[in-house]
Structure 1
């Protein structure tokens, strides 16, 4: 599970048939990239926990290294990507990820692989992922145009959730069959194939703004000021950040609890986490009707309020039939998360001025995704001083309480989220 990616921005000028063809290539690239990400999210911690026999805190360091780049460079990347053509950025990012991951099986075969190597590779992959994701968010509108965004977004959500459903089971099966280091090869190949698909996207090139560029710090501050000053986006970002922080705290140590404490086989762990992708995929079928029937405001509040507490079930897991509680927790939380993301990110797409969208997207990712490595490290510290189950309980409790940001905000009484707010003054003191 993870927080899902959506797009918004300007249109391209290709014909309708070209757009459809290019969209299929982009969808395939997205499927390959997301599969690589999902497999890696499970294979890397399992590699540390099983093959390298790492401590809980070392496992948390490996997981944190995968996303700490969002915290370190997430804000300036939003500005940099707005100043570049997105397609070349995505291609280079995919190739960098593939090259970095190729080092893991190579070092393992030389009997030289250590936890520090995993952290370094994960960090490089995370840096490239920041560039890919921010560019990806702004590239889709150039491919399909504004009139095709809703349909394209729905297809992309389905692709993401399908990868989330298949990825963990695939990773667990590969780890069980050929060991964790060789499972990394799957992600390596996925990223290389994604780069090839993006490179085959045709049509006219993107137009890059040629007006004088503002200072980097001023551009970054504009995005932050817009988000923090927005009556709807502010509680949404607070909720997303809290939910990501706490969920990451429990999720990372849930892997340790299952793999080390309960000695659950890797393939079983993969199948348990597949339930999250299945829940998300099921939600994509009904999310449109849910949002239309109850309104996007209510969908945002109810999805978190009802789904987030279900993560508490993971704390009750044990051997035998009690393992099913992990699957139940993953299924319910992922389903609610899809509805939450579709409603709140679609609102962001239509409400944020186009010239601020890249920076606002980067700001949101900075807070939400930047909280992930901090949560993982805190979970590792709790597990180190207490045990993995305590970290899972603490993370689940915090995830359940994240809904308070919405329940004590104006969103509680909104059936439909309000019309776009005017952009802030570009002059930043």
Structure 2
């Protein structure tokens, strides 16, 4: 089912590791042209284009593209009590963990009367995308909305595809999650068109353009986010989910197998990777994997994901090399199941989120760890981070200089302005003291 990559006896360089990591045969760029056309259709034709795209891609045309408040209230009232309790707890935990991400304003006095203040300013309005394809993601409503609210964003719009099963309405559990968070602006729109609508606005339904768009989706959603980037800010081009597990011979093979399958059930393109220096563990996991994969509800989907080029069991000579492999991969979700996790943590630099120990599975982070599950995929954790309050904050410096403080550095400003052949820069300073 899952292939084995044997790197024992090898010490690859960083660039060689990058070439060796397993990846899915998918690329956002292949969907770029189609996504750009869908975004442009929404920009030029508005509601007409959104309804056409709903018929084509969702198989249903929503009666109300802007969800009435009554539908949100009904969804909250009819929500399964156990699911409501879980969502309530998730909201509490994500709020607590996210609060730590908000920096304090700081003031630096460089000299008497020379002050630079560092402040963090929220954007005014954001659009949050919640997918609705193979699975339902009320947890993504929590993960997107809570950081925006804690950052101080004043206007939040949620977009999620209309569901044929529910007569063209947004899935009721997604609506209920929005209602629990106090979000009243929800739209039954999906895919690339939804990203275009959030970025450019749609007057007919009262949808004003947003400044930042966040949230995961399929390859067309990711491509559409690339298309509108620059018109709006985005979190990342999130693609199929990934789990990479660094484990040694002390890891429980049953736990490892279960965790690999848990992420493989998301999507046929989901990546499940085990990196270990223990051939015995690798063998034990492989022995467990077939049975675990075959017995789960989405066995067919799991089988395709595990059999794909993006999934593998990787054998290396040491945990240090396992960490180097992981850093080259830059996983969305990284589990560390080793005898001395703190020592290994010092070697791990690239990951969307890191789950340490046998009792910190990725599933915990998906729902109730308090951490955020909207994370960079496709190796993007090598240079970007997961969603947080900081996604919606802009650092700004506020400069306040008195006359005497400016006079003190005036000659140096003039000198640099002359060196750059921009004399008017210096003249703007000396003009203040000409009188």
- Higher-Rg member (1/2): 2
TM-score, normalised to structure 1, is 0.24
Larger proportion of strand:
2
Q: TM-score, normalised by structure 2?
A: 0.24
Higher relative contact order structure (alpha carbons within 8 Å, sequence separation ≥ 6): 1
Higher helix share: 1
